Structure 1
Amino acid sequence: MTNRRNIYFYYPNDEASTYKLQPLFDLAKQNDFTILEDPENANIIVSIGGDGTFLQAVRKTGFRQDCLYTGITRSNEAGLYCDFNLDNFDEMLHSMIHEEMEVRRFPLINVDINGETRFNCLNEMSIRSTIIKTIVIDVKIDTKHFETFRGDGLIVATPTGSTGYNKSTSGSVVDPRIPCFQVSELASLNNNRYRTLGSSFVLDKDRKLTLDIIQEGNNYPVIGMDNEAYPVRQVKSITVTLSDKVIKTIKLKNNSYWDRVKRTFL
């Protein structure tokens, strides 16, 4: 890994944060890493914070395929995307220098809105009503109608995103080695007219999910992409597929995804 020496740190770029992180920067320089002011030419992008910061780092740097991402948490934070904390940053550098690290690959989903705008998501895409009224969505798997949903909204989560918003709605936690994505309901309304599955369901990597929004006053739903909201006007249809892209992250040996799930939730 001697060619991976250009490193970019993603963190709140203010004087107080820079001062607190100076020992970390000094340690990187002492180990012959070059700290860049811009992520464009970085081989390694390091977020400093929890999972929310990691998601922002990936999104703001364009879901790059030609670099490694890693996350460092502060002492009072936990993260399923973050293998390191500020107390063991030197362990991360040692792993990179001596090639003792492993690379983990996390899948992304493609989200196409109205056939015009495409986004990537590492965690999840959600669609929710912006008014005090349920939203109605025709759910199609591939080209076939599956159900008509009426309720507060839907969540489409990646395997790694399954531990976030998806899990809070009783969705399943999915192993990130399984190439798939999951659909979960937000307060569905079930009666003689509207009937949904009533549980989350998982789709294979080759499936296409289409969400057609019925225009009954919910023409401006909130579209959540990871931890950002996109107020897209006149949303009529959303298509979700599993992307060919993956996010490559540095992981410590003997620290699997399920090790981190256990530490976080059990």
Structure 2
Amino acid sequence: MKFAVTSKGDPKSNTLTHKIKTYLQDFDLKYDEDTPDIVISVGGDGTLLYAFHRYSSRLDKTAFIGVHTGHLGFYADWVPEEIEKMIIAIAKTPYQIIEYPLLEVMVRYQHGGRESRYLALNEATVKSVDGTLVMDVDMRGQHFERFRGDGLCVSTPSGSTAYNKALGGAIIHPSIPAIQVAEMASINNRVFRTIGSPLILPAHHTCTLKPVNRPDFQLTIDHLSLLHKDVKSIQFRVADEKIRFARFKPFPFWKRVQYSFIKD
């Protein structure tokens, strides 16, 4: 089996990364940063997001494992005190594959020809470069509303516990292939009106945003912030690809939610 390790970069994470790499090689596993079967992320959820984007072209061949060196994260099954146990499990035990849905973002431009495609593990957001965001929102190719406000957030089920939750969105179990659209400070008065509620779309539905006035937008894909100019439309849907996690022990999603938001 081939493996790679990504580190948050702080001293604690770097020390654990060196330990994991050395111990797994002692078990005759091969370290390979280019074509790993397993990627071990050491740090926080942001570190795993980085690893996901680094290996996004290998999602059908690579599984991920999270080690959290801070507070427990949604994408971490292991903590530093369990490293020896994790190493033995990786080296000696068959693992279960758990798959989570991803978000596909397709940006098309006014002059045609080219388009940009992205995958998000947590969410994508759209904001105006300057002033209020004004977008026509289409659902399944039919006009739904004209949105005015600070922006829109489209999240995956696993990402529904992140920015989406802060916007008042629902928490969705990642076994459900869906995406969620949540508003950022929409303008609602006697003249302008939006739905005002988060929308949950199944896998066979699309949400498309079309500029009304300004064609330039700030688009975020997880932790990446990108400026897009001359935009014709931005389409969101559940991606065909999924992220794969290597699981050696049960850690139910609702237990993760409880640990992160409720449990002392």
In the superposition, the TM-score normalised over structure 1's length comes to 0.90
User: Aligned residue for 1:26?
Assistant: 22
The aligned amino acid for 1:246 is: K
User: Aligned residue for 2:170?
Assistant: 172
- How far apart, in 1, do the equivalents of 2:176 and 2:141 lie? 23
Q: Classify the secondary structure of the residue corresponding to 1:41.
A: coil
Q: Does 1:53 align with 2:47?
A: yes
User: How big is the shift at 1:101?
Assistant: 3.5
User: How big is the shift at 1:77?
Assistant: 3.2
Q: Does 1:66 align with 2:61?
A: yes
Q: Classify the secondary structure of the residue corresponding to 1:177.
A: coil
Cα pair distance change 1:141/1:127, threshold 3 Å: same
Q: CA RMSD in A?
A: 2.0
- How far apart, in 2, do the equivalents of 1:163 and 1:171 lie? 9
User: How big is the shift at 1:30?
Assistant: 2.5
- How far apart, in 2, do the equivalents of 1:166 and 1:148 lie? 20
Cα pair distance change 1:56/1:109, threshold 3 Å: same
Q: Deviations over 1:113-140 (max 9, x none)?
A: 0161111111111001222x21111111
- How far apart, in 1, do the equivalents of 2:193 and 2:46 lie? 34
Q: Deviations over 1:8-53 (max 9, x none)?
A: 01125699964553322222122222222x2x22111111111111
User: Aligned residue for 1:236?
Assistant: 232
The aligned amino acid for 2:254 is: W
- How far apart, in 2, do the equivalents of 1:100 and 1:20 lie? 23
- How far apart, in 2, do the equivalents of 1:32 and 1:212 lie? 53
Pairing of 1:134-173 with structure 2 (within 5 A): 134-173=132-171
The aligned amino acid for 1:118 is: R
Cα pair distance change 1:256/1:138, threshold 3 Å: same
Q: Does 1:127 align with 2:106?
A: no
User: Aligned residue for 2:73?
Assistant: 79
Q: Classify the secondary structure of the residue corresponding to 1:236.
A: strand
Which segment drifts farther, 50-59 or 20-29?
A: 20-29
Q: Does 1:101 align with 2:101?
A: no
Where does structure 2 lack aligned partners over 5 or more consecutive residues? 110-114
User: Aligned residue for 2:249?
Assistant: 253
- How far apart, in 2, do the equivalents of 1:27 and 1:47 lie? 16
User: Aligned residue for 2:112?
Assistant: none
User: How big is the shift at 1:62?
Assistant: 2.2
- How far apart, in 2, do the equivalents of 1:198 and 1:123 lie? 22
Cα pair distance change 1:72/1:128, threshold 3 Å: same
Q: Classify the secondary structure of the residue corresponding to 2:100.
A: strand
Q: Conserved in 2, the CA contact under 8 Å of 1:137 and 1:213?
A: yes
Q: Deviations over 1:195-250 (max 9, x none)?
A: 111110100100011111212xx432210101110111122310111111111002
Q: Classify the secondary structure of the residue corresponding to 2:89.
A: helix
Aligned residues: 256
Where does structure 1 lack aligned partners over 5 or more consecutive residues? none
The aligned amino acid for 1:71 is: G
Q: Conserved in 1, the CA contact under 8 Å of 2:8 and 2:44?
A: no
Q: Classify the secondary structure of the residue corresponding to 2:73.
A: coil
User: Aligned residue for 1:207?
Assistant: 205
- How far apart, in 1, do the equivalents of 2:83 and 2:15 lie? 17
